Amino acid sequence: MRARIYKSDKRQFECKVESTGEMVKANAIGNLLKKGETLVVGDWVGLEEIPETNEIIITSLEERGSEIFRIIVREQRKKVTASNCDLLIILTSVSKPKFKRGFIDRFLARASQWGIRPIVVFNKMDEFDDDFDILFEERRLENLGAKCFEISALNPDYKQRFLSKGYEDLKNEIHDRTSIFLGQSGVGKSETINTLSEGKYKLKTNVIARVGKGSHTTTWSEIIDLDGFCTIDSPGIRSFSLEDVDPEELLSLFPDLEEIAGECKFSNCEHLEDSKGCVFWSKYSPESEEGELIHSRLDSYLRIYEEVSAQPFWQRKY
């Protein structure tokens, strides 16, 4: 029978059977995985029940559609913490904390690396005071394939005033999908998830609770079924850091820029204003409408590149 892993504890896994919705505990057989691999939350697996003992075992693992991971540089391996996530929901605030484009571009880089479709949610819009051009931000993000939504998590009746998509559109977007919510502290992740689940569930940073059912602190990844959509809670991926990314591979996480960079005169172009033959500066003026969009992304790339290049990749201790 086909099932999905919702929670793991060493070699025992809590799985949801697709055909019945029943939650069962299963053990993985020893030769299921290749050396160094592991089963993770989100995996689709095949289960079999042993008649003599009624024990349920995991006998097969389906190919993953996406993986949430970090690179363990010192071991030169990929540590996967969850899989088969449909949406990476980047939550940003427009008041407290103030909107920061750089955070969004960091999460967009992760979405590209993990192979997950990103969407961006502008929260606290009832407090928006026009201190940045939100229509420009929508334009630059939707050029990258990231839909944008305007909400106020604490006021679900709020109707969008600036963007084309609001709270009801967001509910429809995440329906029957598995999402992971990412954003800096204070942007309203727990309030947004609680509102989208219509108060049935409450997530507080690393404390998860069904209303009226008590709570527990999470130190592992797990899927939380929120009656209409699922979210992956994974304490290991709340950092904004991209320090596990090889500087030479960073441009590939900005596919829009990578395509343009192919036109630069030199393959080792640094894409700085004084870089000889750099197409970003010779063809796309920051003063033009198209150039402004491109340079807003280039600026984020260059800032992150400087950060991840501060220490030689091979010297990193994690």
Check if the beta carbon of residue 94 is closer than 8 Å to that of residue 127.
yes
Tell me the CATH architecture of domain 83-237. 3-Layer(aba) Sandwich (3.40)
Residue whose token pair is 């944008």? 148
Euclidean distance between CA atoms 187 and 189, whole angstroms = 6
Do 2-61 and 83-237 come out as alike in CATH topology? Answer: no
Q: Is the peptide bond before 247 cis (omega within 30 degrees of 0)?
A: no
pLDDT value, residue 217: 42
pLDDT category at 36 given cuts 50, 70, 90 is: low
3-class state of residue 104 by DSSP = helix
Q: What is the mean pLDDT of the chain?
A: 88
Q: Model pTM?
A: 0.89
Where are the domains positioned within the chain? 2-61, 83-237, 247-315
Angle at 174 between CA 171 and CA 176, to 5 degrees: 110
Above 90 in pLDDT, residue 71?
Answer: no
pLDDT category at 207 given cuts 50, 70, 90 is: very low
| Class in CATH terms, 2-61 | mainly beta
